[in-house]
Chain A
Amino acid sequence: MLLNGIFVIIPVIGAVICAFLNKQKQAPGLLANIILLFGFLISLHIFFMSLGQEWFFGEDVLSAFMLIMIYMVALAVAFFAVFAASTKRRGSYFAILLVITAGMAGVVCSQDLFTLYVFLEVVAVASFVLIAFYNREKSTEGAIRYFYLSSIASAFILFAISLLLLYTGDTTYEGLVKTILQTQGNSAPLNIILGTLAVALMIKTGLFPFHSWTPDAYESASSPISALLAGIVTKVAGTYALVLVCMLLSIVNFGIEHNTVGKAIMWFGLGSIVFGALAAQEQKDFKRMLAYSSISQMGYITIAAALATPLAMAGALFHIFNHATFKTLLFFCAGNVKKATGTTAINEMRGLQEKMPYTSATATIGMLATAGLPPFSGFWSKLFIIAALWQAGFIGMSVTALFASVLTLAYFLKLQRGMFFGSASKNIANVKEQGMGFLIPCFALAFIIIAVGIYFPFIYNNFLSPFIKVLQ
């Protein structure tokens, strides 16, 4: 399907035009929103066209699924940024936003590991620039930390690609799968190479032992940018590639479903579920708590992707989608609170619900969905993941993941009590609710969370069962 190239080219053209409109106030934001809206609609169309096809080779139903998410989150962020981005260089801001969207679209449309690397670097460089966009000391620090860790990850990715090239003579996914299927029996070198690749991608995802850049980058970036980073960039640059590696691993160890490297990745995932949930209890800042919550949720996705049974893979993809919606929503709420009160420290105010009813209502929806409470979308994906772990015989892991979900509820209730619930304290007497521009993206994402949760049978039949069928 050559059509997927337009998802990369059109945003780049838009970025060039935006860069020339640097003096204009409204034009760059409007242009970016129009481009992203059209991209979102076209990606929906392509997804329904490509249902039922084989996947894994790039430009397929999986990449169409990822494209929908990329354009959905990028559109929400661009809409929010029109109101929230207080900068004189709006042209550059939206240009880089479009470049990062193009880079992410390139990552999911590439059919070749080296192309994947090039687009990962495009996404990474655009992220450094966006984190450090406002000339603040904290932002520079966050960007520098992300820069060094991400560059080490890139070096490891390239080294693994060079070894894979030596071993299989090819870097395209199709060629890799063909060679791997021919050389069954001697899978040890391939396991080691793919393990190296997986570790590098864990740095990019921000899983537990390699998480140190995540809270810094999310806290120091401005609110739309942290929503973009947490909502979609780490998922596309880290988790999507990790899902590909896990699928390659399950092909390498054909017949042995739970291979050693896959099990090791599962332990990393379990570690970050527990660590993220425990570390989030201690946080004093809304955005930092959300960052640790992100680490924990990424653990759920990784553990399911590494298990690589059909049910687990469907759960992983569904949780990627759900996490993209609710984490973006929560970062928008954090941005609203920051804009209205000037701070995101949890214990400095109380009873924000009286002053900002819509923000606190949508934040509550996002938090309950993250914790996995039944009417919301997060419940179904966590159910998939935990059921898949149980089904595959990893009962201990399944129980731990379940209890970590309770921990999620614990830190979010702490946050709710400290910030939103109760009667308003004195220091927020003059705080007002944000305008509609800030609230519309929140309402839209909250609507998606509730709708996906309630109409789950429809979502299952149309979006998830195709993945399960193809995998079996």
Chain B
Amino acid sequence: MNSLLTPENLQFNYFAAIMMFFIGLYTMTASRNLIRLLIGLEITSKGVMLAFVSVGSALGAMSFVQALIIIMIGVEAVVVATGLILIIRAYKQRGNVDPTKLSGLKG
């Protein structure tokens, strides 16, 4: 697999990272389900992680970037857990998970 990560091929990595980032953002804008929004968020952050790996490979600083990514995964687990708790609570209170029906607050 090492041959795929030569500096010449890294532009594909960046391309893929940016594609994943925007696919995730598109998922977040297009879907009408809070769980799918969360999945879109995850795709976005995986794109960011791919970008970090590519940058580490280009700089030859993989160990530094690995440390950063492990911290990111840890932080993300906490964030996603909190988000799922909020979604479960919204489902229990309202009976649906449609973001367009979040209409208790207006103005």
| Given known A159-B48, A165-B55, A220-B105, contact A128–B68 (CB-CB < 8 A) | no
Chain B residues near A166 (CB-CB < 8 A): 55, 58-59
Size bin of chain B's contact surface = 35 or more
Assembly CA distance A125 to B78 (angstroms): 8
**Cβ contacts A204-224/B at 8 Å (1 or 0 each):** 000000000001100110000
Report chain A residues within 8 Å CB of B25: 152
Query: Are B89 and A219 interface neighbours, CB within 8 A?
Result: no
B23 in the interface (beta carbon within 8 A): no
B30 to chain A, nearest CB (A): 14
B86:A128 contact, CB within 8 angstroms: yes
Interface positions of A from 138 to 183, Cβ below 8 Å from B = 138, 140-145, 147-148, 151-152, 154-155, 158-159, 162-163, 165-166, 169
Does A129 belong to the interface (CB within 8 Å)?
Answer: yes
Residues from 258 to 306 in A contacting B, C-beta threshold 8 Å: 282-285, 288
Query: Are B59 and A283 in contact, with the CB atoms below 8 A?
Result: no
A219 vs B104: C-alpha distance when bound (angstroms): 11
A135 at the B interface (CB under 8 A): yes
A34 to B45: give the CA distance in the assembly, Å.
Answer: 39
Determine if B39 is an interface residue (Cβ-Cβ < 8 Å).
no
Contact of B107 among A125, A141, A143, A283 (CB under 8 A): A283
Q: Does A114 contact B (CB under 8 A)?
A: yes
Q: How far is the CB of B23 from chain A (nearest CB, A)?
A: 12
Q: Kindly state the separation between the CA atoms of A284 and B105 in the bound complex, as whole angstroms.
A: 13
Binary per-residue interface labels of chain A (111-139) against chain B in the complex, 1 for a CB within 8 Å, 0 otherwise: 00010001001001100110010010110
Contact with B93, one of A124, A137, A288 (Cβ below 8 angstroms): A137
User: Once the chains are docked, how many angstroms separate the CA of A220 from the CA of B78?
Assistant: 23
Q: Please tell me which one of the listed residues B71, B72, B105 contacts residue A138 in the complex, with CB atoms under 8 A apart.
A: B105
A187 to B93: give the CA distance in the assembly, Å: 51
Instruction: Kindly state the separation between the CA atoms of A163 and B99 in the bound complex, as whole angstroms.
Output: 32
List of B residues within 8 angstroms of A282 by Cβ: 107
CB-CB nearest in chain B for A164: B55
Pick from A128, A144, A155, A159: contact of B90, CB under 8 Å: A144
- A residues less than 8 Å from B19 (CB atoms): none
The residue that A158 contacts in the complex, of B28, B48, B93, with Cβ under 8 A, is B48
Interface size on A, residues (CB 8 A): 39
Indicate if B94 sits at the interface (CB-CB under 8 A): yes
For window 50-90 of B, CB contacts with A under 8 Å fall at 51-52, 55, 58-59, 61, 65, 68, 71-72, 75, 78-79, 82-83, 86-87, 89-90
Chain A residues within 8 Å of B99, by CB: 144
B16, CB-defined interface residue at 8 Å: no
Question: Distance in Å from the Cβ of A327 to the closest Cβ of chain B?
Answer: 19
Asked if B87 and A121 sit within 8 Å, CB to CB, the answer is: no
Contact assessment for A169 and B59 in the assembled complex, using a CB-CB cutoff below 8 Å: yes
CB pair B86–A114 under 8 Å, yes or no, is no
CB <8 Å contact, A147 and B82: yes
Tell me which residues across on chain A come within 8 A of B107, comparing CB atoms: 215, 282-285, 288
Which A87-118 residues sit within 8 Å CB-CB of chain B?
Answer: 114, 118
Residue ID in chain B nearest A129 by CB atoms: B82
Chain B min CB distance to A348 (Å): 16
A180–B49 alpha-carbon span in the complex (Å): 25
Tell whether, in the assembled complex, residue B90 and residue A125 are in contact, meaning their CB atoms are under 8 Å apart: no
- Are B78 and A155 in contact, with the CB atoms below 8 A? no
Interfacial chain A residues near B104, Cβ < 8 Å: 137-138, 141
Which of B55, B78, B83, B94 lies in contact with A147, CB distance below 8 A? B83
* Residue of chain B at shortest CB distance from A119: B75
Say how far A141's CB is from chain B's closest CB, in angstroms.
5
In the bound complex, what is the Cα–Cα distance between A284 and B58 (angstroms)? 55
- Say how far B55's CB is from chain A's closest CB, in angstroms: 4
Measured between beta carbons, the chain A residues less than 8 angstroms from B58 are 166
A313 CA to B48 CA, complexed, in Å = 32
Q: B75 near A128 (CB under 8 angstroms)?
A: no
Say whether A142 contacts B105, CB under 8 Å.
yes
Q: Are B102 and A141 within 8 A (Cβ)? A: yes
Write the chain A residue with the least CB distance to B24.
A155
Contacts of B105 in A (CB 8 A): 138, 141-142, 145, 215-216, 219-220
Once the chains bind, are A140 and B41 in contact (CB under 8 Å)?
A: no
- Contact with B51, one of A145, A159, A288 (Cβ below 8 angstroms): A159
- The minimal Cβ–Cβ distance linking B75 to chain A, given in whole angstroms, is 5
In this complex, which of A121, A148, A151, A155 has the most chain B Cβ atoms within 10 angstroms of its Cβ?
A151
Contact for A155 among B21, B55, B89, CB less than 8 A:
B21
Return the contact of A151 from the options B51, B83, B93 (Cβ within 8 A): B83
Docked Cα-Cα span, A75 to B75, in Å, equals 27
A144-B82 contact given A158-B45, A220-B105, CB 8 Å threshold: no
Lowest 4 A-B CB distances belong to which pairs? A162-B51, A166-B55, A216-B105, A158-B48
User: Could you show 28 A-B contacts with beta carbons less than 8 Å apart?
Assistant: A118-B71, A121-B75, A121-B78, A124-B79, A125-B78, A125-B79, A125-B82, A129-B82, A138-B105, A140-B90, A144-B34, A147-B86, A148-B41, A151-B83, A152-B44, A155-B24, A155-B41, A155-B44, A158-B45, A158-B48, A158-B52, A159-B47, A162-B52, A163-B51, A165-B59, A166-B55, A169-B61, A215-B105
Q: Which residues of B contact A (CB under 8 A)?
A: 21, 24-25, 28, 34, 37, 41, 44-45, 47-48, 51-52, 55, 58-59, 61, 65, 68, 71-72, 75, 78-79, 82-83, 86-87, 89-90, 93-94, 99, 102, 104-105, 107
